[in-house]
Amino acid sequence: MSNTLIIDTSFGSTVGIVGHEPIVETDSRTHVERLQVNIAKVVENAGLKPSDINRVVVGVGPAPFTGLRAGLVAAKAIAFANNAQILGCDSLLPQSLMMRSGAFKEAVKNGSIEKNLLLNLPDSADSCDSNIRNYVLSLNDARRRQVYMSLYDDEGNTLIDMDIDYPQNVVSRVNEYLASVNDENYCVDVLGHGAKKYAEDWRNIARVGVIAEVSALDLGVKGLQIFEQCSLECANKDEHVKAVEPLYLRRPDVSVPNPLKHVLGSGEANRAKEK
C-alpha cells in the first residue's frame, strides 16, 4: 500500500495524504512559516509517522519562483530522508482530469464548491451538453496581469502547449485554434486560478462553457487522488515532469549584480577587478 504525500505550492499551498483531507493555505507568503507545520499535521491526522511516507508527489508549476521553490525543496528533502519515490505533476493537467472524470460535476451537485467561484454554468450547472466535446482551458494566475495556460481536449491531450500570456492573447489563441479545427460540436471550459479575475475575457471564447475559479486540489480528498493519478500517468509516459524540475516559464526577478565600481582605490573593487 502506498502512503502518498501531496505537496503543491503553485498557488498558495496544499498538502495532504491521499485518502485524507488536505490542508490548504491560500496565502503564498506563509510558505516558510506554515508548510512544514502543515506537512507534519496531515501526516499525524492520517495516523502515520513520517517514515511511513513512501511516495511524494509535488507540484512543479508553472508558478512564480519563490513559492514553487519552497514546495519542491520540502518534497525532495522528505523523499530523500525516507528513500521514497518522488513524482512531479504540473499544476494545469489535473483540471483536465477533474472534468473528464466527472469530479467537477459531482462537486457542483453536492455543493462543495462555493457559488461565488462558479462564474458561468451553462444549462443545468454541469457543463456543455454531454453529446459534444469538452475542451479545457486550464489556468494558474501568473500575476502581472498574466496567466499560465494550456488547452486540452476531452481525452487530456494537449492542444495548446503550456505557456504564459495575457488573457486577451490567450482568448485569441484559443479561438484561432478552434476555428482551425472546423468543428462546431464542442465547448470550452475555463478552470483554475485566474478564471475569476479575468472572467470577462474568458466570456469572449467561442462556445465557452464553465468558467470556474476551481483547481483539482480545491476538491479536497478527491483532488488529492486526481493529482496523484496525473503524476502517475505522466511518469508512465516518461514526461519531463518525471525529473521533478520546476516549470517557471518566466525568469526570476533576481539577477547577478554588476561588478563593483573602482572608487578611490577600494580594496573590494580592486579584488573584483583582478578576478
pLDDT of residue 127: 47
pLDDT the model gives residue 185: 86
Where do the DSSP E strands lie in 67-215? Answer: 85-89, 118-120, 133-143, 146-152, 158-165, 186-192, 208-212
Report the amino acid identity of residue 89: C
What's this model's pTM, rounded to 2 decimal places?
0.86
- Range 177-185 average pLDDT: 86
> How far is 61 from 71, CA to CA, in rounded Å?
10
Amino acid occupying residue 202: W
The residue assigned the cell 505533476 is: 89
Mean pLDDT (whole number) for 181-205: 93
Confidence of residue 91 (pLDDT cuts 50, 70, 90): very high
Instruction: With a cut of 60, say whether residue 126 has pLDDT above it.
Output: no
Quote the pLDDT of residue 237.
Answer: 74
Question: What are the tens digits of pLDDT across the range 208-227?
Answer: 999 999 999 999 999 999 99
**Could you give the percent of the chain with pLDDT greater than 70?**
84
- d(CA 261, CA 266) in angstroms, rounded, equals 9
Asked if 122 and 222 touch (Cβ cutoff 8 Å), the reply is no
Of residues 186 and 239, the one with the higher pLDDT is 186
pLDDT tier at 28, thresholds 50, 70, 90:
low
The CATH fold of domain 4-90+218-243: Nucleotidyltransferase; domain 5 (3.30.420)
* Cβ contact 154:185 at 8 Å: no
CATH of domain 93-214: 3.30.420
**257: which DSSP letter?**
P
Distance CA 213, CA 190 (A): 8
The pLDDT value given to residue 27: 75
**Per-residue pLDDT tens digits for 131-168:** 788 999 999 999 889 999 999 999 999 999 999 999 99
Mean residue pLDDT across the chain: 87
Question: Where in the chain is CATH 3.30.420.40?
Answer: 4-90+218-243
Q: How far apart are CA 237 and CA 231, in angstroms?
A: 10
Per-residue model confidence (pLDDT) at position 128? 56
Range in 46-60, 92-106, 141-155, 175-189 the model is least confident about? 175-189
Q: Are residues 119 and 211 in contact, defined by beta-carbon separation less than 8 angstroms?
A: yes
Q: Catalogue the long-range contacts made by 262-270 (C-beta closer than 8 Å, 24 or more residues apart).
A: none
Question: Edge to edge, what strands does the sheet with 23-25 contain?
Answer: 23-25, 13-17, 4-8, 55-59, 85-89
Mean pLDDT computed over 242-249: 79
Q: Tell how strand 4-8 and strand 13-17 pair up.
A: antiparallel
- The mean-pLDDT minimum among 64-78, 81-95, 234-248 falls in 234-248
Q: Which amino acid is at 8?
A: D
What pLDDT sits at residue 83? 95
What pLDDT was estimated at residue 254? 46
| pLDDT of amino acid 255 | 52
Q: Output the CA torsion sign for 82, 84, 90, 92.
A: negative
